[in-house]
Amino acid sequence: MVKVITYGSYDLLHYGHTRLLERAKALGDYLIVGVTSDDYDKTRGKINLQQTLMERVEAVRATGIADEIIIEEYEGQKIDDIKKYDIDIFTVGSDWVGYFDYLNEYCKVVYLPRTEGISSSGIREKKRSLRLGLVGEAAFLNKIWNEAKAVNGIHIEALCTNNKQKMDTQVVNGIDLITSDLSELLDNVDAVYIRSLPNLHYQHIKQALYAGKHVLCESPVTLSRVQLEEILLLSEEKKLIMMEAIKTAYATAYTRLLLLIKAGKIGDVISVDSTCTSIREGGDGEWNNIHEWGPTALLPILQIMGTNYRNNQIAARFRNANQDAFTKISFTYEHGVASVKIGDRFKAEGDLIISGSKGYIYVPAPWWKTDYFEIRYENPVENKRYFYQLDGEGIRYELVAFARAIERGKLISDISKDVTFKISEIMEQFEDREGMIMI
Ligand code: CTP
Would the pLDDT of 43 be above 60?
no
Let me know whether 103 and 207 are in one domain.
Answer: no
Report the predicted TM-score, pTM, of the whole model to 2 decimal places.
0.81
Predicted local distance difference test score (pLDDT) of residue 44: 56
In a domain, 371, yes or no: yes
Let me know whether 62 and 207 are in one domain.
Answer: no
CB 3 within 8 A of CB 87: yes
Is the CB of 10 within 6 Å of ligand 1? yes
Let me know whether 219 and 280 are in one domain.
Answer: no
User: 123 alpha carbon to ligand 1 midpoint, in Å?
Assistant: 12
Q: Which domain holds residue 274?
A: 252-389+409-438
Predicted local distance difference test score (pLDDT) of residue 164: 87
Q: Whose CA is nearest to atom 9 of ligand 1?
A: 93
Let me know whether 290 and 413 are in one domain.
Answer: yes
In a domain, 213, yes or no: yes
CA 322, chain centre distance (Å): 31
CATH number of residue 139's parent domain: 3.40.50.720
Would the pLDDT of 281 be above 80?
no
**C-alpha span between 217 and 195 (Å, rounded):** 6
CATH number of residue 27's parent domain: 3.40.50.620
Would the pLDDT of 407 be above 90?
no
In a domain, 416, yes or no: yes
Closest CA to 36 of 4, 69, 65: 69
Domain boundary among 246, 275, 304: 246
Predicted local distance difference test score (pLDDT) of residue 284: 53
User: 112 alpha carbon to ligand 1 midpoint, in Å?
Assistant: 11
pLDDT band at residue 76 using 50, 70 and 90 as cut-offs? confident
Predicted local distance difference test score (pLDDT) of residue 47: 67
In a domain, 395, yes or no: no
Domain boundary among 218, 246, 274: 246
User: 14 alpha carbon to ligand 1 midpoint, in Å?
Assistant: 9
Cis ω before 366 (30° cut-off from 0): yes
Is the CB of 158 within 6 Å of ligand 1? no
User: 17 alpha carbon to ligand 1 midpoint, in Å?
Assistant: 6
Task: Report CA-CA distances (Å) from 128 to 124, 159, 271.
Answer: 6, 21, 42
pLDDT tens across 356-365, in order?
999 999 999 9
Count other Cβ atoms within 10 Å, centred on residue 209. 20
Average pLDDT over residues 221-245: 97
Let me know whether 260 and 237 are in one domain.
Answer: no
User: 24 alpha carbon to ligand 1 midpoint, in Å?
Assistant: 13
- Which of 211-220, 233-242, 408-417 comes out lowest in average pLDDT? 408-417
Pocket test for ligand 1, best of 95, 116, 128 (most atoms within 8 A of CB): 95
In a domain, 404, yes or no: no
Q: What percent of the chain stands above pLDDT 90? A: 78
For the chain, what is the domain count?
Answer: 3
In a domain, 161, yes or no: yes
User: 117 alpha carbon to ligand 1 midpoint, in Å?
Assistant: 11
Strands across the sheet containing 3-8: 68-72, 30-36, 3-8, 89-93, 108-112
**C-alpha span between 298 and 118 (Å, rounded):** 46
Let me know whether 219 and 293 are in one domain.
Answer: no
Let me know whether 232 and 314 are in one domain.
Answer: no
Let me know whether 149 and 45 are in one domain.
Answer: no
Let me know whether 92 and 11 are in one domain.
Answer: yes
Q: What percent of the chain stands above pLDDT 70? A: 96
pLDDT band at residue 151 using 50, 70 and 90 as cut-offs? confident
pLDDT tens across 104-131, in order?
999 999 999 999 999 988 887 777 789 9
Q: Which H or E run includes 111?
A: strand 108-112
Is the CB of 48 within 6 Å of ligand 1? yes
Let me know whether 109 and 157 are in one domain.
Answer: no
Let me know whether 83 and 150 are in one domain.
Answer: no
